Amino acid sequence: MKVYSTLSRKKEELEPITPGEYKIYACGPTVYNYIHIGNARPLCVFDVLRRYLEYRGNKVTFVQNFTDVDDKIIKKANEDGSDYLTVAKKFIEEYWIDAKGMNIRAADIHPKATENIDQIIEMISTLIEKGHAYAAENGDVYFSTKTFKEYGKLSHQPLEDLEAGARISIGEMKQDPMDFALWKAAKPGEPYWDSPWGKGRPGWHIECSAMNKRYLGETIDIHCGGQDLIFPHHENEIAQSECCNDAPFANYWMHNGYINVDNVKMSKSLGNFFTVRDVAEKYGYEPIRYLMISSHYRSPINYSVDIIEQCKAALQRLYTCRDALDFAAGKATVSDNKEDFDLKKKLDAHRVAFIEAMDDDLNTADALAAIYDLVRDINIILKDGASQNIIEYAAEEFDELTGVLGLVYNRKKEELDIDVEKLIEERNIARKNKDFATADKIRDDLKAQGIILEDTPQGVKWHKE
């Protein structure tokens, strides 16, 4: 498998530190609000990365943090007349609702910043001892950026360009505009922890470095996140981690592209900002997941009402195919045919195409195309009449490939107050007796309740509208 690494700016052969094992860290949300559709993209994309690596027989240790103390969280708590713990707890719970809705698997470890204060303090102390950080008179601690000669290597920006945009804000006691906070001295009314530099709380960047080291080690295989995190967050993680540990931080850096809304970059200031919850209430969660993986992860994607409706329609094609397999399995009259060997070879070609796409920098767009080619051939096979063996084989391959992408996960039949199968049988009897008025009434009554009947050569199928 090859992946594009932001660090090298090229596709590289993915080779783990330990053969057959991958250590992956994904930057998680700052929990001060519901997650938005921009947050959903890395969640879905890197969930697929994890699933695919496991599908290919690897062991994956996946860590995704929660930033549970931060300026935004404190501001939200003050606005609500609450405290940072209450805000963080609430929105972590809300995160799990949305993550489950999008079929995001829980990470192996979900560390929180507040649970790693000792590790953060230890790391900052090491950086000070090694001359890469300093404590200001007010109790803030800053990383001395110019002590790391490779600063800017991830974002590929010359130091002079970065310096041109750097500023020292009011109240900051930096020695250089490029320096960034590792520890923030406590302000009145803010949460704090005791430290060698006085009461305070960690800066944003240091928490991920400390948690990476604690849960995955000094050097990890893959660090991933949104493109917006490349600078300064991930750049600063590299600087403080490599200066502390004297070792490479991550061997591969994977970043997903931005999300536009109606072809304009999503932004709160523009008012084109949507939470996952808002979209899911109108269209369901699975179309959101589908949208996030329907394009190559490094490309920008566009959200609009028309596009999310297209995602719903595309998903319906998958569900219709899978339901057709279930239906055909119950109607098959032969266990095998002499043509089955050739049909299996035809179906296997789609699995090969799927794997080739995924091995090429996690190309989920082409992987989806391979699945729809599979769907096309399954529909042809079912129309021509298939054996039980080939129906089961096709169903297994369908489930296997859609499962890697985390799709078609809402297949449980809804509990209904009516016996649909019994009414279908009554309709069949009415039609056989040429009582078309009764047959049509049964069909229309079911449609009024959102149940659509479909007459096929194999019999009558039904689905919820």
pLDDT per position as a tens digit, 6-47: 999 999 999 999 999 999 999 999 999 999 999 999 999 999
Q: What integer is the mean pLDDT of 390-401? A: 96
The more confidently predicted of residues 161 and 224 is: 224
**Residue 67 forms beta bridges with which residues?**
30
**pLDDT reported for residue 11:** 98
Q: What integer is the mean pLDDT of 419-441? A: 86
Query: What is the percent of the chain with per-residue pLDDT over 90, rounded to a whole number?
Result: 78
In the predicted structure, residue 413 carries a pLDDT above the cut 70: no
**pLDDT reported for residue 170:** 67
Q: What is the pLDDT of residues 55-103, one digit of tens each?
A: 999 999 999 999 999 999 999 999 999 999 999 999 999 999 999 999 9
**pLDDT reported for residue 254:** 98
pLDDT band with cut points at 50, 70 and 90 for residue 196: very high
Q: What integer is the mean pLDDT of 386-412? A: 94
Q: What integer is the mean pLDDT of 346-370? A: 98
**pLDDT reported for residue 456:** 73
**pLDDT reported for residue 416:** 56
Convert 51-108 into a string of H (helix), E (strand) and C (coil). Answer: HHHHHCCCEEEEEECEECCCHHHHHHHHHHCCCHHHHHHHHHHHHHHHHHHCCCCCCC
**pLDDT reported for residue 463:** 73
Q: What is the pLDDT of residues 36-48, one digit of tens each?
A: 999 999 999 999 9
Q: What is the pLDDT of residues 276-328, one digit of tens each?
A: 999 999 999 999 999 999 999 999 999 999 999 999 999 999 999 999 999 89
Q: Mean pLDDT in the chain?
A: 93
